[in-house]
Structure 1
Amino acid sequence: MDRTRRTICATGPLAAALALVGCATSGSSGTVGSREAAIAELGGTGKLRAAINLGNPILASRAANGDLQGVSVDLAREAARRLALTPELVPFTSAGSVVEAVKGRQVDLAFVAIDPVRAADMEYTAPYVIIEGAYLVRHDSALQRNEEVDRTGTRVVVGRGSAYDLFLTRELRAATLVRAPTSPAVTDMFLAERLDVAAGVRQQLEADARRVGGVRLLPGRFMVIEQAMGVPKGRGAARTWLSGFIEEMKASGFVADALRRHGIEGAGVAPPMRT
């Protein structure tokens, strides 16, 4: 919705959602007015359509019964509860497809890594989780340090459209980027095509190393990834309300509890937003 159109005449499911705002239970983020404006921008369908990226195992995965689970799932459901909207979890297999869904306004919010390229089509909250990007090589690789990767002739495979893809596209000067369809497909493509380096989220690469054997992670990290909530460009009221919501979820321990509950290691709760 256009920023200037903050006063609306709502009907149907949106009107019902707005009427329920006053009945929302404990833990309301922001003022009633800001919440109403957020509902107007996020709840046009009567639902909160949240993009869930299954390509990043720190954020989300499928349980044994097929249900979606993870810190992003928990945050989406809690935000929907506070906005008196029905949560609709929309799964995707890659960050790139999530970003396209936000640009196409097929979803109302997403959980994505902050990146200046994406900011052209998306408004971010402050980050709620910080994770690390790492490199994977074969045991017999001559590469020993992250700084050695950016050399002529080195081929680095990365998930298309991921935060790592966007970052390395800007940062690598000599190495060649090769793009896999999704982040979970990176290691298999790295092995199948005899590439030199696989790049991605540390936890995914660690799991892949245990699965395939004969590989190792380079020490340290090549980037820090800030994961935030994002909404389509122009939905300033939604971003403002979600920003307050995220800060409350960090301060209350909700994010830390979700990471522990889902067995996520190596990811940390982002620090409070600087004011």
Structure 2
Amino acid sequence: MQRCLAALGLATALAAAPLAAHAQAPSTMEQIKQSGVMRIGVAPGDPYYFKDPATGQWTGLGVLIAEEVAKDLGVKVQTVETTWGNAVAGLQAGQMDVMFILDATEERKKAADFTDEPLFWYAQGVLVRDGLSVKTWDDLDQSGTRVGVGLGTAPDRDLTKRLQNATIERFGNNDEAVAALFARRVDAIGFYTPVLAVAYSRIKKGEIVIPSPVVALSTSAGMRKQEDQAFKEYLDGEFRKLYESGRVQELYAQYLKGKGVEASSTPSLIKEQWAQ
């Protein structure tokens, strides 16, 4: 009997060991402070993340924001390459601590935590060819007007429903759509405004417009789910400060300047400035 009890006690202890180890695992905030490093996910998507083919170094608005957040925390930034589709899985697996400019979709929120405060706002916009006047979606939705979008993207889904008269041309990537606009094979291309700013930097033609009614979206940052909310609360505070002070727009302008684009020629990341 005693042997049975002892064996049962050992089995119970062994079964509980993984749970105890999991419960004692450091939170994201604890891990960052202990290591002195904040690991951020990066994926190709200019102007958010861009890998210099010559140096292999990652730049972009997401990296600049990460450096700002890390500086206030007193730690360094380490980039971890991922894809937009695998970002949440990477957060779950502990491969990275956070990914900035990751939209909190309902599907993603099932598997990861996101900040409550928006990091910045962007809008569904269009880069229109010179000579085409567009102020509303109805102005764009005209028979004979050709609008380029990325195949299968959120703008593709939105414009397919919104534009009933215009012809929608779908392209495999952003570069193909930009080339089509440059060659005047389309009259406009539809993407989110920061992507359009980079597109404009490549051709230096046309005008970026946010047609009314405005389709506004906010972005934030994703992290693994955990009981300790210290890191999430810290990011909420940082995002509030970055947004309200206008610092996030300054970082955006800094990055665009390196692309040869004046931020004043493109819509701001601060929604309250869109009507100004």
Scaled to the shorter chain, the TM-score interval is 0.5 to 0.7
Looking at secondary structure, tell me which structure has more helix per residue. Answer: 2
1:268 matched to which residue of 2?
Answer: 269
> Structure 1 pair 77/157, CA: closer, same or farther in 2 (3 Å)?
same
Question: Structure 1: which amino acid aligns with 2:24?
Answer: C
- Give the secondary-structure state (helix, strand or coil) at the position aligned to 2:221: strand
Select 1:89's aligned residue among 73, 79, 97: 79
CA contact (8 A) 2:114 2:232 kept: yes
2:223 matched to which residue of 1?
Answer: 231
Alignment of 1:100 with 2:86, yes or no, is yes
2:193 matched to which residue of 1?
Answer: 202
Question: Structure 2: which amino acid aligns with 1:240?
Answer: E
Alignment of 1:131 with 2:122, yes or no, is yes
Question: Structure 2: which amino acid aligns with 1:228?
Answer: S
> Structure 1 pair 250/5, CA: closer, same or farther in 2 (3 Å)?
farther
**1:232-266 alpha-carbon deviations (Å, 9 max, x no partner):** 4x346243332123223334554344234333613
Q: CA deviation at 1:76?
A: 1.6
CA contact (8 A) 2:102 2:220 kept: yes
Question: What TM-score do the two structures reach when normalised by structure 2?
Answer: 0.59
Question: Structure 2: which amino acid aligns with 1:229?
Answer: A
The number of aligned residues is 236
1:9 matched to which residue of 2?
Answer: 24
Task: List gaps (5 residues or longer) in structure 1.
Answer: 15-36
- Give the secondary-structure state (helix, strand or coil) at the position aligned to 1:132: strand
Segment drifting more, 82-91 vs 168-177:
168-177
Between the aligned residues of both structures, percent identity stands at 22
> Structure 1 pair 203/257, CA: closer, same or farther in 2 (3 Å)?
closer
CA contact (8 A) 2:88 2:108 kept: no
Question: Structure 2: which amino acid aligns with 1:130?
Answer: W
- Give the secondary-structure state (helix, strand or coil) at the position aligned to 1:73: helix
Question: Structure 1: which amino acid aligns with 2:86?
Answer: E
State the distance in 1 between where 2:128 and 2:245 align: 39
CA-atom RMSD, angstroms? 4.6
Q: CA deviation at 1:183?
A: 3.7
- Give the secondary-structure state (helix, strand or coil) at the position aligned to 1:268: coil
Select 1:112's aligned residue among 102, 114, 117: 102
> Structure 1 pair 252/136, CA: closer, same or farther in 2 (3 Å)?
closer
Q: CA deviation at 1:217?
A: 3.9
Q: CA deviation at 1:9?
A: 3.2
State the distance in 2 between where 1:121 and 1:146 align: 35
Question: Structure 2: which amino acid aligns with 1:102?
Answer: V
1:77 matched to which residue of 2?
Answer: 67
> Structure 1 pair 144/270, CA: closer, same or farther in 2 (3 Å)?
closer
Task: List gaps (5 residues or longer) in structure 2.
Answer: 1-18
State the distance in 2 between where 1:67 and 1:135 align: 30
> Structure 1 pair 183/107, CA: closer, same or farther in 2 (3 Å)?
farther
Question: Structure 1: which amino acid aligns with 2:80?
Answer: V
Q: CA deviation at 1:199?
A: 1.0
CA contact (8 A) 2:123 2:193 kept: yes
Bigger radius of gyration: 2
CA contact (8 A) 1:249 1:255 kept: yes
